[in-house]
Amino acid sequence: MPFLQLSGLTKRFGDVVAVEDFSLAVEKGEFVSLLGPSGCGKTTTLQMIAGFEQPTSGHIMLNGRHLEEVPARNRGLGIVFQTYALFPHMTVEENVAFGLEMRGIDKKERARKVAGALELVQLAHLAKRYPRAMSGGQRQRVALARALVIEPELLLLDEPLSNLDAKLREEMQLELRRIQQEAGVTTLLVTHDQNEAMALSDRVAVMHHGRLMQQETPFHVYENPKSSFISTFLGKTNSLTATLKTTNDEGSALVCNGMELAGPPAHLRPGPITVSLRPERIEIVEAGEAVVSGPVIERIFLGDQWLFRIETPIGPLLVVRRNRGQREPEHGETVHLAWTPHHLRLLPKEDEAA
Amino acid sequence: MTRRSRSRPWILSAPALLLFLVLLLVPLAMTFILSFHSFSFYGGITPTFSLENYIEVLSDGYFYEIFGRTFAIALATTLICAAIGLPQAYFLSRMHPFWRSVMLLVVLGPLLISVVVRTLGWAILLGNKGVINDALRDLGLITSPIRMMYTSGGIVLALVHVMVPFMILAIWAALQRTDPATESAAESLGARPWTIFRRIVLPQAMPGILSGSLIVFSLSASAFATPAILGGRRVKVVSTTVYDEFLNTLNWPLGAAIAMLLLVSVLAIMVGWNRLVERRFAGVFE
Amino acid sequence: MRHNGLFAKAFSVLFAVFMLAPLVVVIGVSFTPEGFLEFPPSGLSLRWFRAILDNPDFIEAAWVSLQLGVASATVSSIFAVPAALAIGRGRFPGRDALQAFFLSPLTVPTVVLGIAFLRFLSFLNANGTFVGLMLCHAIIIMPFILRLVLASVTGLDRSQEQAAVSLGASDWTVFRRVTLPAIMPGVIGGWVLAFITSFDELTVTVFIVSPTTTTLPVRLFSHITQTTDPLVASISTVAILFTVGLMFLVDRIYGLDRLLIGEGAR
């Protein structure tokens, strides 16, 4: 039996279905991310686990207990809110102590645990400060300490890093991972930021339109997306419309915009499909080895890498190249592109709506 | 949890709701009923049910004059407040922050001072031997005093003083919501200051002018202290007439009928105004 | 930042003169050594301020007003805060109607409210009692408190309360430890505005006072309608100074513009 088990979780608001038949299993100590665009139902799912929303149907089991009937205040979960939700009229210390106070823990023990939690988030020196006198990153740590000090069975993180600037966010990602591992707490993160989800979690569960699309390790989801939505949502990709002609154990034959291409073996019926090709898998080669050729129509320098858009017979292709300090193709220059067929991902064609 | 959270707002507002039902709705209903009772000087109030009080009010030119004067005063006050309030609110939004807070104190401060005290000030200013007449006489501009006490004009002047802060607040709130860059944009497109004011500022201030006018009009139509002190027995308005019926003549049923007519006409004007505004300016709001 | 031209400055100065003139005149008149109203006063004398002490009925009236203001603002707050919490968060059927009902004392002409309360209280034989007066004031000033508390409630971060719940706090603890401190500025602001409104109220009060519960505005009003002497000016001056003092206090604690304009002013 998994530590946290969500089964058939559904939430309707009137006619609107926010979450539909959502099932997920999380093992003890695991760090799982719920990833999806805004409005995909991930926050509603979190609110149901926390007890702030009542599921329309479905079950939530934590460590062998049913949570649905337990009021939010007795669920004993640690929650870090998007806005941090620190109590502005209490000091850092008082904020962190609040949950212990509610549990009737005596003063001495409380002080010891608060000190420990602040030590963990490296804020022991700011215990007497008020939240308004702190930076975003520090508030974030206070929120984390407040959630962890009650030694929750489950830690819920609701877009915890979205209010930080880019540089601080990267630092906090590492910090968050360290703290989570040190505390050894089972963690569920809700985020729309694919980088955050990939950097932090053991497993990523991608949500779209209230449904679970795929749940695997970040590497696996990135490498083998199950749908073209996931392939475009996680990282950059070239999505091509093509027709699958034949497929067998050796490989497959595709036609894309009138051009024949070789692909990997596919578990799809011949017919229209979507082909995903990651821009970093496309190489610039000599004319003789080219699969397709065309002129550079866009050229963007990103510091550590170059981004090209190249007009080819199968459509415009995005190509990413690591910046090694050497000459790169100029705007308008014709380049020759190639890739190995097993880097193509053949995905079922989706309706625009899905 | 779900069932509890559904009934919760009603549980929380139940005490206040009860207070309002007992102490607001019941008294108003009792007053409504009272307006159908009859009154005689010797017999007092008899709990009959007749329209005689309403017929008396609606068939007597004296009451038409009072109602007409009341609404004329309210209308004049509203127009003057809008005419002063719009430019003043606009200037306020362009002031240096220090002067703006000073000016806000000047605008808002009087709101917190009793209307009785403020009207006393106007009585001192407007009297035949008052400050204004004295000053004009000393300057040799007039020989005999201009009568300002016990005139509708005097009441309007003092009411403008009482009401103009509400107008400025409403317009200022509307201007606060606008993007100051819209004025710069108009200027960059070649508009002159007056055009900017007329074409850019005025339309955006319109919601404030409309809501401010409604507040000023309804408060002016039911104002009591100012017309009572500056108008006395000579220039009567609806509220002072009601006061006299209740506390001097003791004809409560007639007073209640007059009050009900005031209530109904003020509410009708408010509802009508809102309708008109919603239809005409639907695009300006939201 | 755009700047005002000469016309705008002149307009503003004239407007300020208009707004302050009646107050300046009242204060000026109160310092006259003469027995009649004169402005500017021919000399400076505290004669009419001393005269206040010889008129205990005014002092008593001021004392009644003070007690009435404190009691009605407090009672009204106790009713208004839960109602504001209910209305300020979440939608429920009847919410708009409920809010309109609680704000209705602002729409009904005050003279109508005055006779309605008179009718009701005399029916109960409670006319002129302090409790009756206090409850009527509580009704009239409720909209002021409700509006300010409502502004704080809608500005409240819901997740603060959720955080407290997730840490194990009961409903009452959440209210006492998280919600109330967060909306306190609104409650205090509303209380002060309600107090001032009650302290200054005339139109309703004039109908429902008895000789023992006469408030300062009613006492001043009945004095002014009979005669205007420097005594009313000196009493008014004291009232103005009291209000100005209160205003500065409020401005320090809450911000006067926020109090009168609403949360959006800052």
- The CATH code of the domain that includes A189 is 3.40.50.300
Of the residues A205, A228, A251, the one at which a domain ends: A228
Cβ-defined contact of B34 to C119 (cutoff 8 Å): yes
Answer whether residue A23 is part of any domain.
yes
Regarding whether A130 and A52 lie in a shared domain, the answer is yes
Answer whether residue A233 is part of any domain.
no
Among A79-83, B45-49, C103-107, the least confident range: B45-49
Q: What sign does the CA torsion over C171, C174, C180, C183 have?
A: negative
* Length, in residues, of chain C: 266
With a cut of 60, say whether residue B4 has pLDDT above it. Answer: no
With a cut of 50, say whether residue B286 has pLDDT above it. Answer: no
Residue A339 and residue A281 in contact, taking contact as beta carbons nearer than 8 Å = yes
Which residues 108-147 of chain C have a CB within 8 Å of chain B? 108-113, 115-120, 123, 135-136, 138-139, 142
Of the residues A191, A208, A228, the one at which a domain ends: A228
Cβ-defined contact of C246 to B112 (cutoff 8 Å): yes
| Residue C264 confidence class, pLDDT cut points 50, 70, 90 | very low
Name A191's bridge partners.
A35
Beta strands in chain B, from DSSP E residues, in sequence order: 38-40, 44-46
Q: Which tokens in the block code for residue B3?
A: 């069932």
pLDDT value of position A21: 94
Query: DSSP letter string over A81-150?
Result: -TT----TTS-HHHHHHHHHHHTT--HHHHHHHHHHHHHHTT-GGGTT--GGGS-HHHHHHHHHHHHHTT
Alpha helices, DSSP H only, in chain A?
A: 42-50, 92-102, 107-120, 136-148, 166-183, 194-200, 218-223, 228-233
Domain assignment of residue A326, given as a range: 238-353
Mutate to test the interface with B, among C19, C38, C127 (most CBs of B within 10 A): C19
- What's the CA gap between C113 and B28, in Å, rounded? 7
Q: What percent of chain B has pLDDT over 90?
A: 48
Work out the burial of residue A174: count CB atoms within 10 Å of its CB; fewer than 13 is exposed, 13-18 middle, 19 or more buried. Answer: exposed
CB of C3 within 8 Å of any CB in chain B?
yes
- Which CATH architecture is the domain B68-236 placed in? Orthogonal Bundle (1.10)
* Neighbour order of strands in the sheet with A154-158: A78-80, A154-158, A186-191, A31-35, A203-208, A211-216
How many H helices and E strands in chain C? 13, 0
Query: In angstroms, how far is CA B219 from the centroid of its own chain?
Result: 2
Of B94, B232, B239, the CB nearest to C4: B94
Work out the burial of residue B75: count CB atoms within 10 Å of its CB; fewer than 13 is exposed, 13-18 middle, 19 or more buried. Answer: middle
- Please tell me which residue, B120 or B144, carries the higher pLDDT value: B120
- What's the CA gap between B156 and B72, in Å, rounded? 10
Q: Which tokens in the block code for residue A6?
A: 């969500």
- Please tell me which residue, C62 or C263, carries the higher pLDDT value: C62
Of the residues A228, A250, A271, the one at which a domain ends: A228
With a cut of 50, say whether residue B213 has pLDDT above it. Answer: yes
| Residue C252 confidence class, pLDDT cut points 50, 70, 90 | confident
- What's the CA gap between B20 and C136, in Å, rounded? 10
Query: DSSP letter string over C128-143?
Result: T-HHHHHHHHHHHHHH
Task: Give the Å distances, CA to CA, from B122 to B160, B162, B260.
Answer: 11, 11, 30
- What's the CA gap between A203 and C128, in Å, rounded? 74
| Residue A13: closest CA among C97, B10, C90, C87 | C90
Residue-range domains of chain C with CATH:
56-226 (1.10.3720.10)
| Residue A241: closest CA among A353, A354, A346 | A346
- What's the CA gap between C49 and C45, in Å, rounded? 9
- Average pLDDT (C81-101) is 89
Place of tokens 């409650």: C187
Neighbouring C-beta atoms of residue A330, cutoff 10 Å: 10
Mutate to test the interface with C, among A100, A102, A105, A190 (most CBs of C within 10 A): A102
Regarding whether A188 and A61 lie in a shared domain, the answer is yes
Amino acid at A24: L
Amino acid at A270: P
Q: What is the overall mean pLDDT for chain C? A: 89
Residue A335 and residue A329 in contact, taking contact as beta carbons nearer than 8 Å = yes
- B7: Cβ–Cβ under 8 A, 6 or more apart, which residues? none
Query: In angstroms, how far is CA C47 from the centroid of its own chain?
Result: 30
Give B224-249 pLDDT, tens digit per residue: 999 999 988 889 999 999 999 998 88
Regarding whether A181 and A33 lie in a shared domain, the answer is yes
Regarding whether A341 and A316 lie in a shared domain, the answer is yes
- What's the CA gap between A191 and A185, in Å, rounded? 18
Give B154-204 pLDDT, tens digit per residue: 999 999 999 999 999 999 988 888 877 788 777 777 788 888 888 888 888
Work out the burial of residue B280: count CB atoms within 10 Å of its CB; fewer than 13 is exposed, 13-18 middle, 19 or more buried. Answer: exposed
pLDDT value of position C1: 44
C→A contacts (Cβ < 8 Å), by residue, are 157, 159-160, 162-170, 173, 177-178, 181-182
Place of tokens 């608060």: A114
Mutate to test the interface with B, among A13, A54, A69 (most CBs of B within 10 A): A54
| Residue C174: closest CA among C166, C165, C184 | C165
Of C157, C168, C178, the CB nearest to A83: C157
Cβ-defined contact of B229 to C20 (cutoff 8 Å): no
- The CATH code of the domain that includes A317 is 2.40.50.140
Cβ-defined contact of B2 to A54 (cutoff 8 Å): yes
Q: Which tokens in the block code for residue A69?
A: 């009937």
- What's the CA gap between C185 and B16, in Å, rounded? 21
pLDDT value of position C263: 43
Query: In angstroms, how far is CA A77 from the centroid of its own chain?
Result: 21
Structural domain count, chain A: 2
Cβ-defined contact of C202 to B224 (cutoff 8 Å): yes
Regarding whether A207 and A96 lie in a shared domain, the answer is yes
| Residue C11 confidence class, pLDDT cut points 50, 70, 90 | very high
- What's the CA gap between A239 and C183, in Å, rounded? 52
| Residue B1 confidence class, pLDDT cut points 50, 70, 90 | very low
Of B112, B229, B256, the CB nearest to C115: B256
Regarding whether A219 and A109 lie in a shared domain, the answer is yes
Residues in C closer than 8 angstroms to B136, CB to CB, are: none
Place of tokens 């409560």: B252
Distance from CA of A54 to the nearest CA of B (A): 7
pLDDT value of position A91: 92
Distance from CA of C102 to the nearest CA of B (A): 8
Q: Which tokens in the block code for residue C74?
A: 């407090």
Q: Which tokens in the block code for residue A85?
A: 């939700």
- C197: Cβ–Cβ under 8 A, 6 or more apart, which residues? C140, C141, C144
pLDDT value of position B159: 96
- What's the CA gap between B234 and B155, in Å, rounded? 12
pLDDT value of position B240: 94
Q: Which tokens in the block code for residue A275?
A: 């082909």
Regarding whether A285 and A204 lie in a shared domain, the answer is no
Give B59-96 pLDDT, tens digit per residue: 999 999 999 999 999 999 999 999 999 999 999 988 88
Residue B218 and residue B270 in contact, taking contact as beta carbons nearer than 8 Å = yes
Residues in B closer than 8 angstroms to C109, CB to CB, are: 218, 221-222, 239, 259, 262-263, 266
Of B16, B117, B266, the CB nearest to C109: B266
With a cut of 60, say whether residue C116 has pLDDT above it. Answer: yes
Residue A160 and residue A140 in contact, taking contact as beta carbons nearer than 8 Å = yes
Residue A61 and residue A4 in contact, taking contact as beta carbons nearer than 8 Å = yes
pLDDT value of position B282: 59
Regarding whether A242 and A221 lie in a shared domain, the answer is no
Cβ-defined contact of C11 to B88 (cutoff 8 Å): yes
Residue C215 and residue C205 in contact, taking contact as beta carbons nearer than 8 Å = yes
* Length, in residues, of chain A: 354
| For A70, nearest residue in chain B (alpha carbons) | B1
Mutate to test the interface with B, among C119, C206, C257 (most CBs of B within 10 A): C119
Residue B31 and residue C101 in contact, taking contact as beta carbons nearer than 8 Å = no
Could you tell me the mean pLDDT of each successive run of 10 residues in chain A, 354 residues long? 92 91 94 93 93 92 91 90 89 93 92 94 92 90 93 92 85 89 93 90 94 92 90 89 88 89 87 92 90 93 92 92 90 92 87 45
Buried b (16+ CB within 10 A) or exposed e, B198-223: eebbeebbbbbbbbbbbbbbbbbbbb
| Residue B57: closest CA among B42, B67, B69 | B67
| For C171, nearest residue in chain A (alpha carbons) | A73
φ and ψ at A303, to 5 degrees?
A: 90, -85
CB of A54 within 8 Å of any CB in chain B?
yes
Answer whether residue A202 is part of any domain.
yes
With a cut of 60, say whether residue C65 has pLDDT above it. Answer: yes
Residues in A closer than 8 angstroms to B2, CB to CB, are: 54
| For C184, nearest residue in chain A (alpha carbons) | A89
- Average pLDDT (C78-102) is 90
Q: Which tokens in the block code for residue A134?
A: 């702190």
Q: Is the ipTM of this complex over 0.95?
A: no
- What's the CA gap between A153 and A186, in Å, rounded? 7
Cβ-defined contact of A71 to B1 (cutoff 8 Å): yes
- What's the CA gap between B103 and B88, in Å, rounded? 10
Cβ-defined contact of B239 to C85 (cutoff 8 Å): no
Neighbouring C-beta atoms of residue B97, cutoff 10 Å: 8
Answer whether residue A96 is part of any domain.
yes
Task: Give the Å distances, CA to CA, from A331 to A280, A304, A319, A321.
Answer: 19, 19, 14, 15
Regarding whether A303 and A183 lie in a shared domain, the answer is no
- A27: Cβ–Cβ under 8 A, 6 or more apart, which residues? A2, A3, A186
Regarding whether A281 and A151 lie in a shared domain, the answer is no
